[in-house]
Amino acid sequence: MSTQEWSTGPYEYRTQEGRMTILGFWIFLGAEVVLFSTLFATYAVLFGRTADAPLPGDLFEPGITLAMTFLLLTSSFTCGLAIHNMRAGSLKGLITWLIITLALGLGFLGFEIYEFVHYAHEGATLQSSAFWSAFFVLAGTHGVHVTLGIGWAVLLLIQLVQRGLNPVTSRKVFVVSLYWHFLDVIWIFIFTSVYLIGMVV
Amino acid sequence: MEKNTKHLPVQHIIGFLLSIVLTLLAVWAALGSDLPVKWIIIAIMVLAVIQAGIQLFMFMHMTESASGGGHVPWNMMFHGFVLAAIVVAGSLFTMSFGFTHDHDGDHSGHGSHQEEQQMHD
């Protein structure tokens, strides 16, 4: 399938197929930007329409939000270190940092599940008001992406153990790393425009 | 890029430290400062855009040349971000007409009956 091959440079760029896959994944990320923009727009428009449900300022807690942000930021960093190790040819380093990344991602998910359950106990659910519907759909869609990312990376870890580093596994790991960094980009905007603004206004 | 692989990933470390500093700065601006709300919102949104840029350019290998420069569809990404801006700003602009609510006015009751009244208006 791949007609052109290169013998130098990072593995993931060595075949035409690898380059095209990465290009295609960037196009997917462009579409994800638009998907999340619709959820952000819905949230922004419905901001304040809490009806009888609790106000966001009463439920959002700086501590938990900050913990989630640092978990995801650090996981994005360790994911970068994983790719750095991959390019240095260290399979062991790649696997180690990838597992640390996933552990941090799981920590983030744990906090998010705790947070959602806590809000539900306080009377803020998907059904309570337009505001909370928009909130749960926005934050929940991001959470689902994180969950999918963790599952995807676990499958890749198995492949890495079985097949080692080659142009195909490298390309797959590189693509999942792009996805993971991208989730952090989305989270930065959720953190800022949902949680921080929710606590200020 | 390849020459760096044996050394510390300097770019990642700088990006990570910058992200932490910018996050803390945003938290301080939002919760610790006495700025007017409008300025807080503008300031933290600017900080968020800078942080997103750090992820894209320092973590996501957007600018590296090892792929022959062909792995990032710049026009598509630009298209995506422009659409996102239009969707968010356009929705807020459109819905700012006749979709007001009373919460910023009198706080005595954010009850369902005020909302109901508005729906009949």
Q: What per-residue confidence (pLDDT) applies to B119?
A: 46
The residue among A36, A60, A189 whose CA lies nearest residue B23 is A189
Q: A107 in a domain, yes or no?
A: yes
Q: How far apart, in whole angstroms, are the C-alpha atoms of residue A26 and residue A55?
A: 37
For the cut 50, the answer to whether the pLDDT of residue A176 exceeds it is yes
The whole domain housing A84 covers 11-200
- Partners of residue A182 in chain B, C-beta under 8 Å: 55, 60
Strands in B7-79 per DSSP E: none
Which CATH number belongs to the domain containing residue A35 in this structure?
1.20.120.80
Of B48, B80, B101, the CB nearest to A192: B48
A119, A190, B32, B101 from A59: Cα distances, Å: 7, 16, 18, 21
DSSP code at position A11: G
B88·A44 Cβ contact <8 A: yes
Strand partners, A15: A5
Q: A3 in a domain, yes or no?
A: no
Question: Token match 């929940």: residue?
Answer: A140
Q: What per-residue confidence (pLDDT) applies to B112?
A: 44
Residue ranges covered by each domain of chain B: 2-64
Question: Token match 């934050």: residue?
Answer: A139
∠ at Cα B46 (B21, B30), nearest 5°?
Answer: 65
pLDDT digits (tens, 9 = 90+) for A90-106: 999 999 999 999 999 99
pLDDT digits (tens, 9 = 90+) for A76-93: 999 999 999 999 999 999
pTM for this one? 0.87
Question: What per-residue string of b and e applies to A141-159 under the rule 16 or more CB within 10 Å gives b?
Answer: ebbebbeebbeebeebbee
Question: Token match 């990838």: residue?
Answer: A98
For the cut 70, the answer to whether the pLDDT of residue A31 exceeds it is yes
Structure tokens at B108: 């005595």
**Minimum CA–CA partner of A57 in chain B:** B31
For the cut 90, the answer to whether the pLDDT of residue A25 exceeds it is yes
Residue A5 main-chain phi, psi, to 5 deg: -135, 150
B84·A48 Cβ contact <8 A: no
**Minimum CA–CA partner of B34 in chain A:** A200
Identity (one letter) of the amino acid at A114? Y
A48·B44 Cβ contact <8 A: no
47-76 in chain B: CB under 8 A from chain A = 47-48, 51-52, 55-56, 59-61, 66-68, 70-73, 76
Of B48, B71, B115, the CB nearest to A22: B71
Determine what percent of chain A is predicted with pLDDT higher than 70. 99
Q: How far apart, in whole angstroms, are the C-alpha atoms of residue A68 and residue A82?
A: 21
Q: How far apart, in whole angstroms, are the C-alpha atoms of residue A145 and residue A179?
A: 9
- The stretch A26-50 carries a mean pLDDT of 94
Confidence of residue A7 (pLDDT cuts 50, 70, 90): confident
- Which of A20, A35, A37, A182 best tests the B interface by mutation, with the highest count of B CBs <10 A? A37
By mean pLDDT, which of A2-6, A60-64, A171-175, B81-85 is the weakest? Answer: A2-6
Rounded to the nearest 10 degrees, how much is the dihedral formed by the CA atoms of A76, A80, A85, A87? 150
Q: A46 in a domain, yes or no?
A: yes
For the cut 80, the answer to whether the pLDDT of residue A141 exceeds it is yes
Structure tokens at A120: 């539900």
Of A22, A33, A70, the CB nearest to B81: A33
Confidence of residue A75 (pLDDT cuts 50, 70, 90): very high
Q: What per-residue confidence (pLDDT) applies to A109?
A: 97
Residue A94's CB is within 10 A of a number of other CB atoms, namely 24
Contact by Cβ (8 Å): A23, B73 = yes
Contact by Cβ (8 Å): A134, A63 = no
Please count the residues of chain B.
121
Question: Token match 């130098």: residue?
Answer: A8
Strand partners, B56: none
The residue among A192, A199, A158, A155 whose CA lies nearest residue A176 is A155
Low-confidence ranges of chain B (pLDDT < 50): 1-5, 106-121
A81, A139, A168 from B104: Cα distances, Å: 46, 25, 56
B112 touches chain A (CB under 8 A): yes
B119 touches chain A (CB under 8 A): no
- Which of B21, B61, B72, B100 best tests the A interface by mutation, with the highest count of A CBs <10 A? B61
